[in-house]
Amino acid sequence: MLLRNIGQCLAHPITFFEDIQEPGKVRIWHAFLLVVLAAAARMYTLMYTGFSFSGVEPWMVNVPREINFILMPWISWAVCNWAVSAIMDGEGRFRDILISTAYIYVPYILFMPLLTSLTNLLTEAEKSLYLTLFWGTFVWMAFLLIQKVRIVHDYSLGKTFGTIVLTVFGMAVLWFILLLLLGIVNQALQFFYAVYKEIVFRL
């Protein structure tokens, strides 16, 4: 079922997103699996890109950071898009948004490892080919994202772009607040730890 969905997402994305709300069409664990696969693809890309194109050695790759790089956009997009669409009369439920967002990683999962393997056969002179394919993948993903928002929420194209801008803005706010919170919590923990140490010294 997952494989058929992936194929449909690549070949007929519009039909696929139209069908996504039908019961029994998609499973939530498929979405998690796709995100895990995307993280794996990213790791593979970082570690095995040919030396002509990247000087990153496998030991330089920070695994938790790279996983976050895939995981965090997915979750924060889903949350913010859900919040924005709730105000803007979107049709999609949170579950639909979460799953359909994960399917945007499909071109990344399939083409990045292929492109990475290709870099081991290309030289710097063929860099333009590499860059075209590289950015082509991201353009494709952007196209999928736009279609996803439009179809899942049943929006007009103008409203789709408006929603996307608002969602990105919402993500920025979300991240700002989270980082702020993290800083404050860190400070608070340090304070309590200092108090604890002080007490232990006095006793």
Partner 1 sequence: MKQRLWVSVLALALLFLSPAWAHADGAYQGYLYDEYLDELESVNGYLYRDSLDGYDMGIEPFQEPDDLFVADDDTMYLVDTGNNRIIRFDRNGNVLRMFGDKEGKGRLNGPRGVFVTASGDVYAADTLNKRIAVFKADGTFVRDYPKPESPLLERNFTYTPSKLIVDKRGYLFVASDGTYQGLLQLDPEGTFRGFFGANKVKKDWKKIVVKWLATEEQKEQLARERPPSFSNLFQDTEGFIYTTTVGIAENQIKRLSAVGVDTLNPHTSKTYGDQYWRTENGSFLYPAFTDVTVDDKGVITALDSIYGKLFQYDKLGNLLFITGGRGEQNGLFRTAVSVDQASDGSIYVLDKARGRIDRFSITPFGQKVHEASRLYVEGFYDEAQAPWEEIRRLNSNYHLADFAIGKALYRQEKYSEAMSYFRKAKANGDYSKAFLEYRKEFVREHFTWFALGAILAYSMLKAWRALANRRKRQERRAAAGRKGAAL
Q: Which two tokens stand for residue 127?
A: 């860099």
Compose the 118-157 pattern: x for residues touching partner 1 by CB under 8 A, - for all others: ---x-xxx--------------------------------
Least CB distance from residue 124 to partner 1, whole Å? 4
**Alpha-carbon 153 to chain mean position:** 19
Give the helix/strand (H/E) hosting 129.
helix 127-152
Least CB distance from residue 55 to partner 1, whole Å? 6
Compose the 21-40 pattern: x for residues touching partner 1 by CB under 8 A, - for all others: --------------------
Q: At what angle do helices 28-48 and 106-119 cross, to 10 degrees?
A: 20
Closer by beta carbon to partner 1, 52 or else 137? 52
Compose the 37-66 pattern: x for residues touching partner 1 by CB under 8 A, - for all others: --------------xxxxx-----------
Q: Which two tokens stand for residue 114?
A: 């292929």
Least CB distance from residue 118 to partner 1, whole Å? 13
Least CB distance from residue 123 to partner 1, whole Å? 4
Least CB distance from residue 8 to partner 1, whole Å? 22
Q: Which two tokens stand for residue 164?
A: 């996307």
Closer by beta carbon to partner 1, 51 or else 191? 51
How many Cα atoms sit within 13 Å of 157 on the Cβ side? 1
Q: How many residues does the chain have?
A: 203
Q: Which two tokens stand for residue 58?
A: 């496998």
Give the helix/strand (H/E) hosting 198.
helix 157-202
Closer by beta carbon to partner 1, 60 or else 203? 60
**Distances in Å between the alpha carbon of 23 and those of 16, 27, 76, 135, 145?**
13, 9, 25, 35, 22
Least CB distance from residue 48 to partner 1, whole Å? 14
Tokens 């995100």 locate to 35
Q: Which one of 66-74, 117-125, 147-155, 162-170 is the stretch in contact with partner 1 (CB under 8 A)?
A: 117-125
For binding to partner 1 (CB under 8 A), which residues are involved?
51-55, 121, 123-125
